[in-house]
Chains A and B, each alone.
Chain A
Amino acid sequence: MSTLAIDKAGPSRKVKYGSMSRDRIWALRWSYFFLVLFAIFFLTPPVYMLITSLKSSAEISAATNPWWVFHPTLSNYVELLSSNQFLRFFWNSSIISIIVVIVTMMISIPAAFALARMKFWGSATLATGVFLTYLIPDSLLFIPLFKVLGMVQDLTGITLLNRWYVLVFIYPTLTVPFCTWIMIGYFASIPKELDEAALIDGASWLQTLTRIFIPVALPGLIAATIFAFTVSWAQFLYPLVFTTSVDQLVLPVGITTTLIKGDVFNWGQIMTGALLGAAPPLVIYAFLMDYYIAGLTAGATKG
């Protein structure tokens, strides 16, 4: 794609002929019109989450306009944020995501460096392998992994099933291939002269990595970090299969299993929980959107 980046800084194309600029204005109006429609489609569920979370149970079951809050209350938030169970889910999710991000970075940065710069036996195959691993979905591996965890538990006596920390070992299978893949791309875009100069000056490979590659590819690292975090925060299938006790659950599983009691849906609390669970990725995204998008378009992500 870089070959397409033809010089765009040529003479400005805003030559204003009467009719053309009128066409342009209309094109703009239509664009805004449809963008508003699509924004409504895209934002309805999150907005509805917020609306519901501000309602009391009585108001939710009353046959009034569901799109409006008549008696806003924060009681759902107070109740959830003072419940030990919910805080436990939040804590589990946070600690798992943070550890996964660290583990992911520690595995994928060196690997991406080696694959991008040190041509060695099998490096091309390995790079392709990383990419293929990234395409293997969690829904293919959850059953064998469940068995493998049980087997390890039988062999070593270490409890793995129904423990939150097992997720710290499993999530990197989702985050590492992706992060390695985008970082190979970022590292490959660094001019060769930079590290060749360092090597000639006598820097070791590790020094080249820590002093040249990591600082220069920092935007790529941030993108990868955000990804690793959002992927581990959002993961639903593995924790659903591997953990069952209430104190071991992560947020998505905790909300869907404990807040729904039998056939009784306490929608106010469920929506509040969902909103609080969606908040960390949303906040990160609000501040680091450009990195997030840079990572998305770096050529390898799930959709």
Chain B
Amino acid sequence: MADVVVEQGRVARARGARKGSSLRNALGRKSTVAFFLTLPLILLIVLLVLYPAFYSVYLATLNKAMTKFVGLSNFTFLFKRETFWMVVRQSCIFAITAVVFKALIGFIVAHFVHNIPGKKQRKWRGMLLVPWVIPPAMSTLAWLWLFDPSYSAFNYTLSFFGVGPIPWLGDTFWARFSVILVNVWYGAPFFLIMYLAALKSVPDQLYEAAEIDGANWWQKIWHITLPMMRNIIAITTLFSLIVTFANFDIVRILTSGGPLDTTHLFATWAFQVGIQSSDIPLGACVSLFMVPILAVAAIFILRDVNKRGNEA
């Protein structure tokens, strides 16, 4: 292949030299080529991400009919609504609890998978990653069916242990529990796979040295595994925090925010207010409240990513 490249390159260069047009020179310059290579990407980001993002700030300052500029009154209106504060609280509870459990389960399962011999690892890894592969809208339907109040497989099974029928999605506490459970189920495999990759990069020699020094199992995790995985743990957790905080599918399908709006997240409430009740400015306003939290997480992630970039 190298020969082909060489020959064609020579021909092209010879031809270019003969014609010597300035246009051709300009087109061949590195910065011009780079500009054209990145142009579609820049257009996409500017037109379909940046522009809508700023447009949403503008939208949030309009009245419901979108005819008049009303300044910050949408925001002050939200602050006076009890539902809004409930959504803020629920979004935080949901995101933090779910991420903590995902991280814990991911960490624990990654250790178990790492423990078993190499050949079987692939099989286990494949099985345990399945929740992450199924589109969340589809798997949440399965959960909805598992939670069904009258024919629910869960309640049927629980009845054998004498535990009475649980109103999984009908009661505030259980509904919150359910949406978190489904999110943990869906997101834990992601942590598992990230942590597994991190575990594999910890050199065996460190554990051997620790073993010779008489370190126990817990000391090995605390003094070797955790420090070595620190970066991955931080990045994965922050990533997941962003995505969990902005989650839509699971709550939308499972409870649609109910009972009595107690399971709404910013995304689902924004959908209900903005699209279903067609108060677009207020909906835009609600979703904008995600920005500060996303921004903080993004700054931390960026710091870590840049650090990693410098090390490599």
Which residues of chain A have a CB within 8 Å of any CB of chain B? Answer: 1-6, 8, 10, 13, 27-28, 31-32, 34-35, 38-39, 41-46, 48-49, 52, 60-61, 63, 65-67, 106-108, 110-111, 113-115, 118, 120-121, 123, 126, 128-133, 135-148, 169-170, 172-173, 176-177, 180, 197-198, 201-207, 211-212, 215, 230, 233-234, 236-237, 240-241, 252-253, 255-256, 265, 267, 270-271, 274-275, 277-278, 281-282, 285-286, 289, 292-293, 296-297, 299, 301-303
Contacts and interface: CB of A to CB of B under 8 A. Distances in A.
Interface in B145-163: 145-146, 148, 151-153, 156-157
Given A35-B113, A282-B130, A140 B136 contact: no
B42 interface: yes
A46 B134 CA distance: 9
A205 B33 contact: yes
From B1, B157, B201, name the one whose CB has the most chain A CB atoms within 10 angstroms: B201
A183 to B, nearest CB: 11
Nearest to A8: B204
B5 A211 contact: yes
Interface residues of B, number: 117
Contacts of B185: 41-42, 45
Interface in B295-310: 297-298, 301-302, 305, 308
Contacts of A5: 201
A237 B265 CA distance: 14
B70 interface: no
B271 A271 contact: no
A108 B220 CA distance: 42
Classify the interface of chain B: helix, strand, loop or mixed: helix
Interface string B189-219: 1110110010001111100100000000000
Interface stretch (B71-79, B81-89, B282-290): B282-290
A219 to B, nearest CB: 15
Interface string B223-237: 000001000000110
Given A6-B205, A252-B137, 14 more contacts: A13-B204, A28-B115, A66-B153, A115-B38, A135-B298, A140-B56, A143-B280, A143-B283, A145-B48, A173-B45, A201-B5, A206-B33, A237-B267, A278-B139
A201 B6 contact: yes
A222 to B, nearest CB: 16
Contact of B274 (A115, A135, A143, A240): A143
Nearest to A117: B34
A301 B59 CA distance: 30
Nearest to A121: B31
Given A48-B142, A271-B145, A289-B126, A140 B246 contact: yes
Interface string B30-54: 1101110110111011001101110
Contacts of B302: 128, 131-132
A41 to B, nearest CB: 7
Nearest to A303: B190
A111 B153 CA distance: 50
A301 B191 CA distance: 11
A265 to B, nearest CB: 8
Interface in B88-136: 102, 105, 108-109, 111-113, 115-116, 122, 124-131, 133-136
B53 A144 contact: yes
Nearest to A110: B37
B40 A138 contact: no
Contact of A111 (B37, B105, B128, B187): B37
Given A137-B243, A293-B193, A204 B9 contact: yes
Contact of B143 (A45, A114, A133, A301): A45
A180 to B, nearest CB: 6
Nearest to B312: A2
Contacts of B197: 293, 297
6 contacts: A111-B37, A144-B55, A146-B274, A201-B5, A271-B141, A271-B142
Contact of A267 (B9, B102, B115, B145): B145
B13 interface: yes
A302 B139 CA distance: 17
B275 interface: yes
Contacts of A32: 116
Nearest to B231: A1
A31 B12 contact: no
Nearest to A44: B146
A123 B37 CA distance: 12
Nearest to B239: A303
A234 B270 CA distance: 21
A8 B200 CA distance: 11
B287 A281 contact: no
B55 A148 contact: yes
Contacts of A146: 274-275, 280
Contacts of B283: 143
B49 A141 contact: yes
Given A140-B290, A169-B48, A211-B1, A31 B143 contact: no
B266 interface: yes
A282 B133 contact: yes
B249 interface: yes
Nearest to B128: A42
A62 to B, nearest CB: 9
A170 B201 contact: no
B203 to A, nearest CB: 4
A153 B111 CA distance: 53
Contacts of A114: 33-34, 37-38
